Structure 1
């Protein structure tokens, strides 16, 4: 059955802590890259991207939404189900 009134996630983020959730993902990215990801290219990529994000003053949500596929790949590689759940939530609610 089709929902005749689907929730429009782009209408409002009221009541959703998009920035807080994005910061959780950023923190997990830092943990995983500093811990030494098995694929050095991925760790190097995110180390550079996170530094660039800070230099450009991009907010965490913008960064997560623009890097979502690569982040998902990293979390998949690390078998980090908790982080994958956070990422799915932020993609659904905030991106």
Structure 2
């Protein structure tokens, strides 16, 4: 294998490794955010049902909507971060 192909292989491995590291960090952040969101949502549901006396169905539906929005935002953030890392590595390789 010539030097150029070896450099390309090392570069590809570096991009893959950086992407894996970013995804692992993002997943850890997502898990922490999910735990915080779930705790807050449960607390708000309990307060709204017990103290404010709203209907359980309405409160649970609203809570489910909030959790769904948080999950969608997390997925978008993970995808954007991975794309930025990969594009950044490609740009460095070109320059």
TM-score for both structures, normalised by structure 1: 0.34
Higher share of residues assigned helix: 2
Q: Look at both structures and tell me which one has the larger radius of gyration over its CA atoms.
A: 2
